[in-house]
């Protein structure tokens, strides 16, 4: 029997999550207000240092959002107008937007059918004498295959910028069994603390990660108008600071990040089991090189009318989202991208057939059963 759950089902339940840590969060916010240290207060340094420890990385540079983080990384690496930057066709627009915004040339490549992450063979084919960097995106919570990407980068003298907006806390597993956190492996990593991300602030926020002292120094200058010390401008910068209230919230939530990943994995396993053996539904595959933190739980449908399924779910008050409906190579804004005449069969197929189900830290079994029963009722 299908039981209608009392609370509205959401893609991400941030209020439910807040209720469990309300006392801690409220007092952290209060403390900032009473200190009146809203910008660059001690809370920013504290969060920075906690995150450095958690990630096992030398430098975390907080900034205003994940899009800025990408832009700051490319500025700090000294990338120049006309340089070619290789990235994935199947990602959130910010990844390619920042490349195009800086006058760099986005070179879009296809992705792997199973992991949805950038296809290393396609990167290799796209490298030219103008290529300067690769931007792998760790999509939906799982690491791109970074070890062979690093090898390609080394051979061709390229920078690697990891877009970790969707995979903070995920472990990449190297062929020798060693593990490193997503975003700490290439020259520089970027992340977003947008509220719905796995480590979400209550507003906009982001950060860069690097083990390179020089690069960290440059990033710290760029986020603060290119200043080395106050009123001495060494390089062109921007204003991209993390405010103290967000830092205080993130400091509290960082303690729960691994627990949150566990809850997300439990929900994913429930979904997997419910859909196992259904020939119309392909559940997300797990890469052998990465843990999964399930930013999204994304199905690939086969022979199912996606819009009708979405409507069916909506009629039962179950939200579902399409990440992403349109490939980047066919977006009007990115016409300067190098993709002319190129074919993207995997991205095209995914954009036409993926659907993401509610995925967050507060899903109980009753809700999960209601969701999976409702999907199965339509796809049988
Ligand atoms: C969310 C996201 C960004 C941008 O982060 P904002 O904080 O929203 O600017 C960049 N890349 C990817 C892959 C994202 O998912």
- Provide the whole-model pTM: 0.96
Averaged pLDDT of the chain? 95
Which atom of ligand 1 has the smallest separation from the CA of 166?
Answer: 15
Indicate whether residue 98 lines ligand 1 (CB < 6 A). Answer: no
Indicate whether residue 192 lines ligand 1 (CB < 6 A). Answer: yes
4 has a pLDDT exceeding 60: no
Which atom of ligand 1 has the smallest separation from the CA of 295?
Answer: 15
- C-alpha 190 to ligand 1 mean position (Å): 9
Share of the chain above pLDDT 90, in %: 92
Indicate whether residue 65 lines ligand 1 (CB < 6 A). Answer: yes
Confidence of residue 341 (pLDDT cuts 50, 70, 90): confident
Strands 84-88 and 105-109: parallel
Indicate whether residue 163 lines ligand 1 (CB < 6 A). Answer: yes
- Average pLDDT, integer, range 197-218: 98
pLDDT of residue 3: 58
Indicate whether residue 92 lines ligand 1 (CB < 6 A). Answer: yes
What is the set of domains in the chain, with CATH numbers? Answer: 17-254 (3.40.640.10), 257-379 (3.90.1150.10)
Which atom of ligand 1 has the smallest separation from the CA of 192?
Answer: 7
Confidence of residue 342 (pLDDT cuts 50, 70, 90): confident
Which atom of ligand 1 has the smallest separation from the CA of 69?
Answer: 9
Of 11, 62, 66, which is best to mutate to test ligand 1, by the most ligand atoms within 8 angstroms of its C-beta? 66
Comparing 189-203, 311-325, 332-346, the range with the smallest average pLDDT is 332-346
Indicate whether residue 95 lines ligand 1 (CB < 6 A). Answer: yes
């Amino acid at each position: 029997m299908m039981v209608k759950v009392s609370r509205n089902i959401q893609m991400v339940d941030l209020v439910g999550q807040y209720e469990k840590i309300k006392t801690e969060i409220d007092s952290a916010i209060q403390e900032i207000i009473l200190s009146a240290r809203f910008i660059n207060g001690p809370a920013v340094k504290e969060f920075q240092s906690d995150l450095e420890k958690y990630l096992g990385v030398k430098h975390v540079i907080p900034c205003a959002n994940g899009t800025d983080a990408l832009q700051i990384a490319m500025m700090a690496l000294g990338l120049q107008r006309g340089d070619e930057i290789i990235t994935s066709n199947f990602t959130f627009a910010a990844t390619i937007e920042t490349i195009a915004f800086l006058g760099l040339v986005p070179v879009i490549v296809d992705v792997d059918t199973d992991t949805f992450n950038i296809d290393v063979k396609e990167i290799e084919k796209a490298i030219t004498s103008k290529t300067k960097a690769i931007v792998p995106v760790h999509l939906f919570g799982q690491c791109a295959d970074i070890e062979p990407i690093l090898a390609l980068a080394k051979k061709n003298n390229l920078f690697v910028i990891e877009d970790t907006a969707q995979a903070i806390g995920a472990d990449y597993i190297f062929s020798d069994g060693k593990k490193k956190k997503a975003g700490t492996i290439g020259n520089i990593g970027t992340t977003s603390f947008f509220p719905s991300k796995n480590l979400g602030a209550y507003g906009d926020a982001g950060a860069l990660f690097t083990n390179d002292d020089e690069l960290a120094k440059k990033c710290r200058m760029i986020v603060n108008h290119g200043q080395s010390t106050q009123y001495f401008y060494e390089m062109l910068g921007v204003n991209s600071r993390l405010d103290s209230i967000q830092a205080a919230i993130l400091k509290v939530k960082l303690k729960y990040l691994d627990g949150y990943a566990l809850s997300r994995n439990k929900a994913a396993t429930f979904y997997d089991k419910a859909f196992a053996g259904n020939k119309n539904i392909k559940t997300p595959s797990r890469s052998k090189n990465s843990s999964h933190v399930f930013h999204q739980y994304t199905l690939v449908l086969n022979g199912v009318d996606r819009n009708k399924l979405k409507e069916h779910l909506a009629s039962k008050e179950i939200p579902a989202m399409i990440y992403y409906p349109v490939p980047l190579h066919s977006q009007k804004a990115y016409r300067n991208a190098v993709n002319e005449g190129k074919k993207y069969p995997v991205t095209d197929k995914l954009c036409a057939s993926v659907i993401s189900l509610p995925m967050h830290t507060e899903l109980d079994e009753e809700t999960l059963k209601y969701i999976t029963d409702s999907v199965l009722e339509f796809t049988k």
